[in-house]
């Protein structure tokens, strides 16, 4: 795996160089001190992965990501010193096609590297995603109970990955205020950035967005976002909880695991949506939800940064409708109104 580093700070470059040395089979492809140089170097020598800083002279990481993904697409991992000061840029870069974001490792007094575990884990996961476009679907998930079975009102379940933050902002902005139904989002993103993404989405959409607390009940008026590297499920008591199993899934948190849990507990049919993202996560779970009476929607190819996850849903016959990201929000409102009417008639 050939990895490029884009960063203008010598200490950061050195910590990244030493982190790459800890990844089995990885080597440094090249190093660029600004985004403009990175665009040119990627065009001349495309690496397997780029570690992209956000704040740099000449051209920042957001614009570099946008240009690389347009001209010579390459897996990009945002590596930044802090999400608090760079939140808008981090999520713009993710919207432009970066796969994930992670904090920059540091150097210890003895010359070693510290806090590199997350970067190493993400780099290895990206290598698996790029090398294995069709990871095995998730099945037979054990859904634990939290007490007696509780009625779970219809909700909107959304899965997203590459390009997801910007797509989520577009879709969620089009939903009515206040929200008449619960919305639960599973976005592939490092746990350290989940709270920042919640705050950013709230400012972009005008809705209340918060990270999911363990054993929280979905409720109207709030958009709930998975916040850890564990999976989030709905248990038989109608509560959201985090679980480690299954361990052998590349995507953490997994959209498939969440969708499958909704099918396993026979949740009242709502609307399930798959937005832009690399891989196939969510397609198998969406197929089960469609068979259970859910309205299922996939983002179309033209408006997706990567048409992997929604494309897999279309290929599998899991998506009832394929729409541009701009049309999905209003379609969700129509779908949920239709589900409420069907529930009323069958009562």
Annotated active-site residue 161? The verdict is yes
Question: Hey, CA dihedral for 277, 278, 283, 284, is it positive or negative?
Answer: negative
Catalytic residue among 15, 48, 53, 188: 188
**Alpha-carbon 209 to chain mean position:** 15
Annotated active-site residue 281? The verdict is yes
* Distance between CA atoms of residues 267 and 314, nearest Å: 23
Annotated active-site residue 188? The verdict is yes
**Residues 49, 4 contacting (CB under 8 angstroms):** yes
Catalytic residue among 15, 34, 48, 161: 161
Contacts of residue 184, defined as CB under 8 A and 6 or more positions apart, other chains included, come to 155, 156, 157, 158, 212, 218, 223, 224, 226, 232, 240, 258
As a dihedral over the C-alpha atoms of residue 278, residue 280, residue 285, residue 291, rounded to 10 degrees, the angle is 120
* Distance between CA atoms of residues 319 and 316, nearest Å: 8
Catalytic residue among 190, 281, 303, 304: 281
Contacts of residue 98, defined as CB under 8 A and 6 or more positions apart, other chains included, come to 52, 65, 76, 77, 78, 162
Query: Which residues are known catalytic residues?
Result: 161, 188, 281
């Amino acid at each position: 795996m050939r990895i490029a580093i884009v960063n203008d700070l010598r200490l950061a470059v050195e910590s990244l160089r030493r982190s790459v040395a800890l990844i089995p089979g990885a080597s440094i492809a090249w190093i660029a001190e600004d985004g403009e140089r990175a665009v040119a170097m990627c065009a001349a020598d495309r690496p397997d992965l780029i570690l992209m800083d956000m704040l740099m002279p000449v051209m920042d990481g957001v614009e570099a990501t946008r240009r690389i993904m347009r001209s010579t697409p390459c897996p990009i991992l945002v590596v930044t010193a802090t999400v608090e000061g760079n939140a808008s840029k981090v999520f713009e870069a993710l919207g432009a096609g970066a796969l994930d974001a992670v904090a920059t490792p540091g150097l210890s007094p003895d010359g070693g590297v510290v806090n590199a575990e997350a970067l190493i884990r993400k780099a290895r996961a990206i290598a698996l995603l790029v090398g294995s476009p069709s990871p095995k679907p998730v099945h037979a998930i054990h859904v634990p109970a939290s007490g007696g079975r509780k009625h779970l009102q219809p909700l909107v379940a959304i899965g997203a990955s590459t390009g997801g933050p910007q797509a989520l902002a577009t879709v969620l902005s089009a939903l009515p205020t206040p929200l008449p139904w619960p919305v639960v989002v599973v976005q592939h993103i490092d746990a350290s950035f989940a709270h920042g993404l919640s705050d950013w989405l709230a400012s972009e959409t005008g809705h209340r967005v918060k990270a999911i607390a363990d054993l929280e009940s979905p409720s109207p008026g709030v958009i709930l976002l998975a916040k850890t590297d564990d999976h989030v499920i709905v248990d038989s008591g109608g509560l959201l909880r985090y679980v480690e199993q299954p361990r052998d899934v590349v995507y953490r948190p997994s959209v498939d695991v969440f969708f499958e849990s909704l099918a396993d507990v026979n949740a009242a049919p709502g609307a399930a949506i798959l937005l832009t993202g690399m891989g196939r996560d969510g397609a198998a779970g969406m197929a089960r939800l469609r068979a259970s009476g859910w309205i299922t929607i996939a983002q179309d190819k033209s408006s997706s940064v990567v048409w992997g996850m929604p494309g897999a849903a279309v290929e599998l016959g899991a998506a009832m409708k394929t729409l541009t990201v701009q049309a999905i929000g209003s379609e969700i409102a129509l779908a949920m109104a239709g589900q409420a009417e069907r529930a009323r008639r069958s009562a």
